[in-house]
Chain A
Amino acid sequence: MTALFAQLLNGLDKGAAYALIALGLTLVFGTLGVVNFAHGALFMLGAFCAVTFRYLLTIEVVTTDPTQLSPWGQPLQVRTPIIQDWLGDWGAVIVDYSVPLSVLLAIPVMAAIGIAMERGLIRHFYKRTHAEQILVTFGLAIVIGEVVKTFYGPNPYPQPIPSDLRGTADIGAWFGLAPHILTYPIWRLVYLLFSLGVIGGVFAFLRFTTFGMVVRAGMADREAVGFLGIDIDRRFTIVFGLAAAVAGVAGAMYTPLLPPNYNMGMDFLVISFVVVVVGGMGSLPGAVLAGFLLGILQSFASMTEVKTLIPGIDQVIIYLAAVAVLLLRPRGLLGRRGVMES
């Protein structure tokens, strides 16, 4: 039973990442009608915001300690991050918390990248077919990946979990079980809570703000909103920036779980599109629901007992589920009538 619960948590954790990426994809599709294959690259760029932030924080000042020798017999070089040199223990704490703090960098940077991407390229393809949109955004994803590879190299950059958030939470004990029966890494719980917070924040933003109300109205009937004298295009551009920022913070916070490299966006993109399709094209709640459901399904399929029964099932379960859902509900779980239906 505890094994099932642990797998459930794993699934929620993985599903949270899927849901965050799919949420951004659906936002862009629902507002601009663009199938954005470069969205995975935005997730990757967010992860590299965390890498860059840590790099900046750990620029070191090198001093020589003549009282100690290096293993090769020269005076030992002592390296101290400049920020630690300036701020002492507080500097060390900031370096330690570089990943969560990098979200502060990722939000404006990614929003700016998203807006630039929409204004510079995507808007020229609004009236093109979905196939053409896919081609151009896929090409853009490759370009972004190669640019990152040029600057950062092809190898992954492991990012540390803040020392206070390492280790495990004894979840079993919270429910009265004996100690260590059901434990789960604290950072994975943090990521899950963070994702739920971001998802809740996006929904609240769209639900309870005037801006959100206009955007929802624009999603329902773009022309009618335009007739009311509202510049809906400008708002949709901001939504594109918002979607990029959501993907970015998802990527930044995921770095301790998966060391980022230039290609990581592609791995998530394919699954996230399946998530969007299963959830229902254009449905924000559908994207979130499908993200979590498919994450959980994938996690259960990777249990030893299941894999012994059906070897390799964990690699294909998401696609099998997508086939099943599309056969039974062609519009996806919460898909709206008329979306992507000509």
Chain B
Amino acid sequence: MSKLVMNRRKLIRTLGIGGATALAAPSFFTRGAWAQQFCNSPEVSGKIIFGFNVPQTGSYAEEGMEQLNGYMLAVKHINGEGDGGLLNTLKPVALKGNGVLGRKVEFVTGDTQTNTDAARDGARRMIERDGAVMVTGSVTSGEAIAQQSLAQEMGVIYMSGLTHSNDTTGKDKRRYGFRHFFMAHQSGIAIAPFLAQEYGTDRRAYHLTADYTWGWTQEESIKAATEALGWETVATIRTPLGLGDYSQYLTPVLNSGADVLILNHYGHDMVNSLPQAVQFGLRDRQANGKNFEIVVPMFSELMAVGAGDAVRGIIGTSNWQWSLEDEGTKAFTKSYGEAYGAPPSQSAHTGYVQAILYADAVERAGTFYPPEVIKALEGFEFDGMGNGPTLYRAEDHQCMKEVLVVRGNENPASRFEVLDVIGKTPREEVTYDPAIFGGELGPYEPNQCA
């Protein structure tokens, strides 16, 4: 029969091993010195859950579904599955392809219904019920602004998806909200020289604008940019979000004296309004001795496909395009194409990038504690994500990067080649003073959500 003999040396050794084990266990999630309690801390729940909250129904559903594809691909790559995608090109990169801080990421999804209230409710549910440590996703700025306000209240970081309103990182910016996507003011700066070059400086513009925060700020920015060129604004008309038949709004354009129609529409709105504008013969018309032109200041691959032939020759701006030649774009297009059988849209790209950037920030911070993750993102300078050298500006949480000017392909060689990149406006030119849009980021310290 063996006898338990505990001498002083054994006791010290046992206590030492036990103590080291006890100390090492929580540091699984907190390599640094931040073991604070916070909302949905993975240290407490034992799970890392990302919340992907995108419109799967409503006017912007297609963009939302693409974005969701991007998020799911990002999770695969973060967890070390697939070919690694942009983890191979992101510089600098802290992620190792083994999850975040050594543990696999899980996710929950939600449908914002292209509706601000539903987006906010969905995000709240993800935080309160599902235990999401980060929420991301949007295709309207209304959704993004509502979610980032909620995120600030609840102390959970929100990485916005597709949102182009100046307000998102302007008057409505939040410490807990981050935007990778470009914005309306930058679209105005980028597109103006091309409009002057293509259509001249003596034009009369008529705006049809989606009646919500994004439409208002895009109209304001494009109006300012075109009037600076010497264009006159004939009228600015608001149209309800989700309208199907634009005939009653297009007929007045015909005899308004305008020679350019600017469509501040996105998603299904633009997929409906642009072909109907073409059906009404606007592009065949002459007005003021010039060819009538249509401009869509912000448009995407998906919208271009949806609008069909109507998009040919139309100028707009874009956040990213799969046909770019940099290594990041090539890597993402390959990963996404193999996974989903089609090239990715800018919505998928921005979603993917946001998920990766958040995970990388956690890895660099060594903790999920939001203030430290926020500090890791603020001022982060990176490259290799398809947009050239990019800065996550600390002052307003807006990514500063080049902006693409695109045109509907006149002679597409395949069904995928619907947009041509006709110009890149460098980051320096689209960088603006964050003070011009006002707003306050708010405090770093998180609230306790439960």
Q: Which residues of A contact B336 (CB under 8 A)?
A: 72
Closest Cβ–Cβ distance, residue B326 to chain A (whole Å): 14
Query: Is A28 interfacial (CB-CB < 8 Å)?
Result: no
Q: Which of A143-195 contact B (CB under 8 A)?
A: 153-156, 158, 160-161, 166-168, 180, 183-185, 187-188
The reply to whether A187 and B279 form a contact with Cβ atoms under 8 Å apart is yes
Q: Which residues of A contact B281 (CB under 8 A)?
A: 167-168, 180, 183, 185
Instruction: State which of A112-120, A124-132, A242-250, A298-306 sits at the interface with chain B.
Output: A298-306
User: If A72-B333, A73-B337, A168-B284 touch, does A304 touch B248 (CB 8 Å cutoff)?
Assistant: no
Q: Which residues of A contact B247 (CB under 8 A)?
A: 10, 13-14, 188, 257
Closest Cβ–Cβ distance, residue A78 to chain B (whole Å): 9
Query: Is B245 interfacial (CB-CB < 8 Å)?
Result: yes
Residue of B nearest to A17 (CB): B245
CB<8 Å pairs between A and B, sample of 11: A7-B248, A10-B251, A155-B62, A158-B271, A158-B272, A168-B284, A180-B281, A183-B254, A183-B281, A183-B284, A257-B247
A-contact 0/1 string along B350-373, CB 8 Å cutoff: 000000000000000000000000
Query: Is B334 interfacial (CB-CB < 8 Å)?
Result: yes
CA–CA, A167 and B333, complex, Å: 36
The reply to whether A155 and B245 form a contact with Cβ atoms under 8 Å apart is no
A-B pairs with lowest CB-CB distance, top 8:
A72-B337, A168-B281, A302-B248, A258-B244, A154-B57, A185-B279, A3-B255, A183-B281
Closest Cβ–Cβ distance, residue A332 to chain B (whole Å): 25
Q: Which residues of B contact A154 (CB under 8 A)?
A: 57-58, 61
Q: Which residues of A contact B235 (CB under 8 A)?
A: 304
The reply to whether B244 and A160 form a contact with Cβ atoms under 8 Å apart is no
CA–CA, A168 and B254, complex, Å: 13
The reply to whether A180 and B286 form a contact with Cβ atoms under 8 Å apart is yes
Query: Is B308 interfacial (CB-CB < 8 Å)?
Result: yes
Q: Which residues of B contact A183 (CB under 8 A)?
A: 254, 280-281, 284-285
Contact size range, A: 35 or more
Q: Which of A259-285 contact B (CB under 8 A)?
A: 259, 264
CA–CA, A20 and B335, complex, Å: 50
CA–CA, A14 and B245, complex, Å: 10
Query: Is B108 interfacial (CB-CB < 8 Å)?
Result: no
Q: Taking beta carbons and an 8 Å cutoff, which residues of A are in contact with B? A: 2-3, 6-7, 10, 13-14, 68, 70-74, 76-77, 153-156, 158, 160-161, 166-168, 180, 183-185, 187-188, 257-259, 264, 298-299, 302-304, 314
| Cβ-neighbour of B285 out of A14, A180, A185 (below 8 A) | A180
Closest Cβ–Cβ distance, residue B207 to chain A (whole Å): 12
A-contact 0/1 string along B284-316, CB 8 Å cutoff: 111000000000000000000010100000000
Closest Cβ–Cβ distance, residue B154 to chain A (whole Å): 29
| Cβ-neighbour of A72 out of B285, B306, B338 (below 8 A) | B338
Query: Is B414 interfacial (CB-CB < 8 Å)?
Result: yes
The reply to whether B285 and A158 form a contact with Cβ atoms under 8 Å apart is no
Q: Taking beta carbons and an 8 Å cutoff, which residues of B are in contact with A? A: 57-58, 61-62, 235, 237, 244-245, 247-249, 251-252, 254-256, 268, 271-272, 276, 279-281, 284-286, 306, 308, 322-323, 333-338, 341, 343, 414, 416
The reply to whether A185 and B272 form a contact with Cβ atoms under 8 Å apart is no
Residue of B nearest to A161 (CB): B279
CA–CA, A183 and B250, complex, Å: 12
Q: Which residues of A contact B244 (CB under 8 A)?
A: 156, 257-259, 264
Closest Cβ–Cβ distance, residue B323 to chain A (whole Å): 7
Closest Cβ–Cβ distance, residue A207 to chain B (whole Å): 32
The reply to whether B62 and A70 form a contact with Cβ atoms under 8 Å apart is no
CA–CA, A68 and B413, complex, Å: 11
| Cβ-neighbour of A3 out of B251, B286, B335 (below 8 A) | B251
Residue of B nearest to A307 (CB): B237
Closest Cβ–Cβ distance, residue A309 to chain B (whole Å): 14
Residue of A nearest to B281 (CB): A168
Residue of A nearest to B341 (CB): A77
CA–CA, A6 and B256, complex, Å: 13
CA–CA, A167 and B280, complex, Å: 7
| Cβ-neighbour of B61 out of A155, A258, A299 (below 8 A) | A155
Q: A160-B308, A257-B244, A257-B247 are in contact. List 6 more A-B contacts (CB 8 A).
A: A72-B333, A74-B338, A155-B61, A180-B285, A259-B244, A299-B251
CA–CA, A303 and B252, complex, Å: 6
Q: Which residues of A contact B322 (CB under 8 A)?
A: 71
User: If A156-B268, A185-B280 touch, does A258 touch B338 (CB 8 Å cutoff)?
Assistant: no
Q: Which residues of B contact A7 (CB under 8 A)?
A: 248, 251
Q: Which residues of A contact B335 (CB under 8 A)?
A: 72
Residue of B nearest to A305 (CB): B252
| Cβ-neighbour of A71 out of B237, B249, B268, B416 (below 8 A) | B416
CA–CA, A37 and B395, complex, Å: 56
The reply to whether A6 and B255 form a contact with Cβ atoms under 8 Å apart is yes
Q: Which residues of A contact B268 (CB under 8 A)?
A: 155-156, 259
Residue of A nearest to B61 (CB): A155
The reply to whether A314 and B252 form a contact with Cβ atoms under 8 Å apart is no
The reply to whether A304 and B334 form a contact with Cβ atoms under 8 Å apart is no
User: If A187-B279, A258-B244 touch, does A72 touch B252 (CB 8 Å cutoff)?
Assistant: no
CA–CA, A23 and B248, complex, Å: 24
CA–CA, A2 and B285, complex, Å: 15
Closest Cβ–Cβ distance, residue A228 to chain B (whole Å): 47
Q: Which residues of B contact A2 (CB under 8 A)?
A: 254-255
Closest Cβ–Cβ distance, residue A134 to chain B (whole Å): 26
CA–CA, A73 and B279, complex, Å: 37
Q: Which residues of B contact A14 (CB under 8 A)?
A: 245, 247-248
CA–CA, A80 and B276, complex, Å: 27
CA–CA, A236 and B62, complex, Å: 44
Q: Which residues of A contact B276 (CB under 8 A)?
A: 185
Residue of B nearest to A182 (CB): B254
Q: Which residues of A contact B62 (CB under 8 A)?
A: 155
Closest Cβ–Cβ distance, residue B320 to chain A (whole Å): 14
Q: Which residues of A contact B308 (CB under 8 A)?
A: 160
